[in-house]
Amino acid sequence: MFYWRSSIDTDAAGGTVELGFTGRSAGRGSGPYAGLNLGGHVGDDADDVEDNRRALAAELDLSRERVVFMNQVHGTDVVEVAGPWAGDPPPVDAIVTRAADLAVAVLVADCVPVLLHDDTAGVLGAVHSGRPGMLSGIIGRAVDAMRDLGARSVSATVGPSVCGRCYEVPEDMARAAAAATPASAARSWTGTPAIDVAAGVVEQLASAGVGIQWVPGCTRESDDLYSYRRDGRTGRFAGVALRRTVQA
């Protein structure tokens, strides 16, 4: 189920912070959504998506409602979540929490999933950053929200996304991205203008004083990850962060 997964011991007795990025294996999806599609907004059968989300919750040893997703809109809004949503998820691109035994999730298929965590303060976050989010500052806003909740030593785990060599764009778009975040400047496999959004996100995290772990992998190049650039109509995989009070 997981493309990558890690567990970090916390200062709390028996507590852990669990981080992971799902892959396409072991899911109910079929056709372009084959595998563990967790995106409910991409045209897949709603029952299959919900079955996949229940399977993820079970793998995390949580009830389904304790895994919270966002309604991602490529914006800059960040909200705090303390428990399961009351109704539909809000239109935001980052969520932060101090709640234990609550998994926060971000859905992607080329964009950059970022999991934020302060293992001592017990604050977590999940961030969706595509090119628009990188340019408009979603990363800085999410880090600020973490610190507003008491985080003092924020770390980030940056998940797989489309690499710069696979993200060819018009020259003016590449120039605008590089002007805002120089590390995002890239060239495609054929030498054309491109954007490395993940490198730009990492630069922004470093500038904010955040420790960084970068999980390797290009969505367009890996068959175990969904990629809109590669396939067009496709599913979404998830980045998930959870603070568990007692080890399972």
Residue 15 pLDDT: 85
Q: Give the pTM.
A: 0.96
pLDDT > 70: percent of the chain: 97
Looking at the structure of the chain, the number of domains it has is 1
Each residue of 153-180: b (16+ CB within 10 Å) or e? ebbbbbbbbbbbbbbbbeeeebebbbee
For residue 208, give every residue at least 6 positions away whose Cβ sits within 8 Å of its Cβ, in sequence order, or none.
139, 140, 143, 154
Q: Is the dihedral of CA 69, 71, 212, 24 positive or negative?
A: positive
State the Cα–Cα distance between residues 223 and 58, nearest whole angstrom. 24
Domain hosting residue 185, numbered range = 2-244
Q: Is the pLDDT of residue 234 over 70?
A: yes
Mean pLDDT of 21-47: 94
pLDDT in tens, 90-125: 999 999 999 999 999 999 999 999 999 998 899 999
What is the average pLDDT across 228-238? 97
Query: 243 falls in which pLDDT band (50, 70, 90)?
Result: very high
pLDDT per residue over 153-183, tens digit each?
999 999 999 999 999 999 999 999 999 999 9
Residue 1 has pLDDT above 70, yes or no: yes
Q: Residue 144: give its domain's CATH number.
A: 3.60.140.10
